[in-house]
Structure 1
C-alpha cells in the first residue's frame, strides 16, 4: 500500500470516460467562463466545482460573501460528483462500532446523525426546501426511498445485528438515525426481489443471510450540483471551467497567488474542494489524501425485472449487496427519468487486481493512487456486468416479489460504463478546515481543505462544505468572543474528527477503513 499511496497525484486527466449523468453535459455551465479573463483579485478562490465546492459557495453567499471565484480543471462538476452513482445513503450502522471504538459513543452518534441529515437535506433542497430560494426546486431525479442491504457474509450479518442493537441502546427511542429494520433470510427471500448469489460459471452458491432496511434514496448528483451552481452564478459567483490550477503560493503581503494555465489570481482564502486530486497542489498531503478509482456500470433491465413503463414503479428501493471483503451498491432509475428502470451498479473493487498484483484478496490494491479515469478496469467490468444476474437470479420464478433478472434486454445488458476518482485518508475521515501552520516552515493561514470523503460523498460533501464556509466566516470576524461562539455552535453538529490537524497529517495510509 505504501507504494501506491506514494504515486504522485496528478491533475484531472483529459478525455475521461463519459458517465451517463454527463451525456450530454449541461449546455449552460459545462464549459462556462463567467468572464473572458480571470479576475485579478478576489476574496475566496474555490478550486473544484463538484457538490463540495457548490456547498461552500452556496453557504458563503448566504452570509453575504460575493467576491467568489470557482475554478475547475475540466468541465463543471466533471469529477467525482458527476461520476458517482447518486446513492443518497448513510449506512451509518456499518461504521458505527468502529467510530465508537476510535472516538467514543458521543462522536459516533454525532456522525450518524450528520450522515442522515445530509442525505435528507439533499432531497429537501431538490424539492425546493430551505436555502434554495426557489419553490420549483432542482430537477435532479430526486427519489427518496428505502434501501436494502442484502448481506451474504455470516460475519457481517452478525456485525450488522450487533451494530443496530448498539445504536438503539445509546440513541433515544424514535431517533431516525437509528431507524433500521432487520429481516431474516426467509423473510428477505419472501418480501424482496433478491436471490442467493449463484456464480453462473462455477455454480457456486452464496446464500443470503439477511437484509437491513432503512431510509435512503437516489439523485443525479450532477444535476443537483449544476442546479445549485446556477443559483450561485445568479448571485455573483464567477465560474471558470477548463482552467487547471498549477500551483498555489503565498506572496510577501500574505495573500495567496493561485496560478492557472490562464493567469494568476490573488485571494485572501483558497479552498481546495478537490477530493482525490488535492495532493497535487499540496505535496505534504501525498499519502494523506489518497486517490482511489471506482467503477460503475449501467444496465438495461432484464425481462423479468419490474417494468417502469408497464407498471409505473420499477424497483421500490435502492440496494447494496454485501459479501466477504466487498460490496456493490445499486440504484434503479426512477419513473419519469431518462432511462427509467435502468439499473446503476457500482463497486467490485475487491476484484480489481490482476494475479500479478496479488489477486482479488488484496481489496483492489491496483486502484489506489491512480487518477486515471480515462479507462476502465476490465476485471472489474466483467464482474459488474454479471452482478444483476447473481443478485436477482436468472430463473423464470423469483424468490422475492415475483421478479428475477430474466433475459437480457434486446439492445444488450450494458448501456454505459465509466470510472471516477475518490479520495481516502489514513483514519477514514474527511479533511475539513484550515491547513496547520507552519508545515515545513510554511505559513498556511488562509489555505483550506474540504476533501477526501471516503467514497461517501453524498453523505459528507454538503455538510462539510457548509462547515468549511462557517469556519472561513468565523475567521473573518474581528471579535475573538464571537469567533469562539461560532466555533462552539459548529461543534454541536460537526464532528471534531473531520477537522484538519497536524497529527492527522502524520498518519500512515493503510487502505479503506469503513
Structure 2
C-alpha cells in the first residue's frame, strides 16, 4: 500500500469514461463566465463538484463575498460528484463504535449528527431551490451476509440507540440519529433469497442525481456572480515572490493572483499541492447502470435503496425513481474487493478513462444474483446500459481534511471524503467557509468535529488502506 500511496497524483484525465449522469451533459458543462481569465480574484476555488459549489454558495451568502473565480480542469461537475451513484446514505452505525473508542462519545455523536444533518440539508436545499435532481428521500436497507458483521451491526445499533435516546419522559424529541430497525434473516430472505443472509438494518436515506444537484448549485452561484471557468486545469500553485501574501494559480490560459485559494479537489488534491501526497490517496471506484429485469416489481422502481455487505466489502444499489429519465434503472456501485488483491491496484490511480474488467464482470452479475427469480429475464436491449469509473479520495485516518493548510496562510482545503461525499461535503463546505470568514469559534466547534480539521499530525500519518468498508472493532 505504501507504494500505491506514493504514486504521483496527476491532473484529471482528458478523456474519462462517460458517466451515466452526464449523458447528455448539462448546458453548464463547458461554460465560461468570461472569455478570458481575470488577472486577480479575491478567492479562487479549484474544483466544481459539490464541495466547490457549496463553498461558492456559502461565500456568496456573506455581506462582502468579493470576486470568486472557480477553475475546473474538465467539464463542470465532472469529477466524483458527477460520477457517483447518488446515494445519500450515512450508515453511521457502522463506524460509531470505532469513533467512540478512538475519539470519545461526544465526537462520535458529532460525526453521526453531522452525517444525518448533511443529508437533510442537501434534500432541503434541492427542494427550496427547485433543483430538478430526481430527489427521492426514502428508507434504506443494509443486507448483511457475514455473521461477524451482523453481530457487530446489532451491537452498533444498540450503541447508537443508547447514545441518541428517543423523546418522551422529559427527554428532547428524537432527531433521527438512533432510529434503526433490525430485520431478521427470514424477513430479508423474503426479498433476497440467498441463504447466507444474516439479517438487515433499515434506516432513513435517499437518492438523487448528484450531477444535476451539483450543476444546479453552480447555476445559482453563477447567477449571483461566480466566475466559472471550465476546461481550465491548474498546472501550478505558489506564493508570490514579492511578499504580498498572494497566491499565484497557473493555468494554460494564464495566471491568476488571489488572496486565498480553496482546494475542492478531493482525490486530485495532491496533484495541486504536493504536501497532500500520500495523505489524500486516490481510489478509483466503479459503477454500473442496469435496465431492470422483466420480473422486477414496479418496473424496477424500488421503495428503498440497498447495500449488500459481506466479509471484506460491499455494494450499494439505487433504483431510479418514477418520473426520472430511465425510471427503474438499477445503479450498482462497489465491488472493489472482487478485483485481484482486494482491489489494491485501484488505489493511487487517477485514470477514470477505463474500467477494471474484473470489477465490471462482477457488477454486471450482481442484480441477477441478488434478486434471484424476482429479476426475471433481462431487458431485450441488454442488462447493462452504462458503466463508468470515478476518482475518490481517502485519508490515513478515514476522515475528511477541512481547514487552512498548516503554515500556508490563505490556502484552504476541504477534501478526502472516503467515498461518502454525499453525506459529508455539504456540511464540511459550510464549516470551511465559517473558518475562512473568521467564524471559527465555539458555535462552530459545537457541531463540527475537530477530528476533521487539517493538522500537522494528520498530514504526517501513514496511509494503510481504506478504513470505511469494514466495520471497526476493538481489536
- TM-score, scaled to structure 2: 0.95
1:221 is matched with which residue? 210
In the alignment, which residue of structure 2 is the partner of 1:44? 43
Output the CA distance in 2 between the equivalents of 1:449 and 1:291.
16
Q: CA RMSD in A?
A: 1.0
| 2:258 is the counterpart of 1:267 | yes
SS in 2 for 1:176: coil
* Secondary structure at 2:297 match in 1: coil
Write the distance in 2 (CA, Å) between the matches of 1:195 and 1:289. 39
Query: How big is each residue's C-alpha offset from its partner over 1:244-278, in whole Å with a ceiling of 9 and x where there is no partner?
Result: 00111111211001111100111011000000000
- What displacement does 1:175 show? 3.8
Paired residue total: 458
Residues 393-443 of structure 1, C-alpha deviation per residue, up to 9 Å, x if partnerless? 1x2xxxxxxxx1111111100000000000000000000000001xxxxxx
1:388 to 361, 367, 378: 367
State the secondary structure of the residue aligned to 1:230.
helix
**SS at the partner of 2:36?**
coil
| Counterpart selection for 1:363 from 323, 342, 350 | 342
Deviation at 1:286, TM superposition (A): 0.7
SS of alignment partner, residue 420 of structure 1: strand
Offset at residue 195 of structure 1 (A): 2.3
Moved more, 504-513 or 64-73: 64-73
Aligned-residue offset at 1:223 = 0.4
8 Å CA contact 1:351–1:364 kept in 2: the answer is yes
The 3-state SS of whatever aligns with 1:7 is: coil
CA drift at 1:66: 3.6
Question: Shift of residue 363 of structure 1?
Answer: 2.5
Residue 197 of structure 2 is matched in structure 1 by 208
Distance in 2 between the 1:379 and 1:422 partners?
A: 19
Partner of 1:345, secondary structure, is strand
Report the Cα offset of residue 102 of structure 1.
Answer: 1.1
CA contact (8 A) 1:245 1:260 kept: yes
* Residues 1:342 and 2:302 aligned together: no
Q: SS at 2:369's partner residue? A: helix
- Hey, what does 1:279 align to over in structure 2? 270
How far off its partner does 1:321 sit? 0.3
Aligned to 1:359: none
> Offset at 1:383?
0.4
SS of match in other structure, 1:418: strand
Secondary structure in structure 2 of the residue aligned to 1:364? helix
1:92-491 equivalences in 2 (<5 Å):
92-128=92-128, 134=129, 137-173=130-166, 174-190=174-190, 193-196=191-194, 207-251=196-240, 252-308=243-299, 314-353=301-340, 362-393=341-372, 395=373, 404-437=374-407, 444-474=408-438, 486-491=440-445
Q: Compute the displacement of 1:487 (Å).
A: 1.8
Query: In 2, distance between residues paired with 1:14 and 1:67?
Result: 28
Q: 3-state SS of the aligned residue for 2:417?
A: coil
Given that 1:66 and 1:237 are in contact with CA atoms closer than 8 Å, whether structure 2 keeps it comes out as: no
Structure 1 runs of 4+ with >6 Å offset: none
- In 2, distance between residues paired with 1:306 and 1:344? 16
Given that 1:195 and 1:390 are in contact with CA atoms closer than 8 Å, whether structure 2 keeps it comes out as no
- Provide the residue aligned with 1:10 in structure 2: 10
CA shift for structure 1 position 150: 0.4
CA–CA distance in 1 between the matches of 2:275 and 2:453? 17
2-structure distance, mates of 1:413, 1:471? 47
The answer as to whether partners of 2:43 and 2:66 remain within 8 angstroms in 1 is no
Q: Render the CA deviation track for 1:327-372: whole Å, top value 9, x for unaligned.
A: 000000000000000000000000122xxxxxxxx33111000000
- For residues 144-198 of structure 1, what are the alpha-carbon distances to aligned partners after superposition, in whole Å with 9 as ceiling and x for unaligned? 00001000000000000000001111222234011100011112223xx3221xx
Rounded to whole Å, the distance in 2 between the matches of 1:195 and 1:84 is 28
Name the SS of the counterpart of 2:98 in structure 1.
helix
Equivalent pair of 2:163/2:178 in contact (CA under 8 Å): no
**333-342 or 248-257, which deviates more:** 248-257
Match of 1:19 in 2: 19
Instruction: Tell me the CA shift for residue 281 of structure 1.
Output: 1.2
- Rounded Cα–Cα distance in structure 1 between residues aligned with 2:93 and 2:369: 25
TM-aligned CA deviation for residue 307 of structure 1: 3.0
Which moved further from structure 2: 447-456 or 172-181?
172-181
- Structure 1-normalised TM-score? 0.88
For 1:175 and 1:93, locate their aligned partners in 2 and report how far apart those are by CA, in whole Å. Answer: 15
User: Aligned partners of 2:53, 2:304: CA distance in 1, in Å?
Assistant: 28
Q: Aligned residue for 1:357?
A: none
C-alpha contact (below 8 Å) 1:96/1:163 kept by paired residues: yes
Give 1:83 shift: 0.1
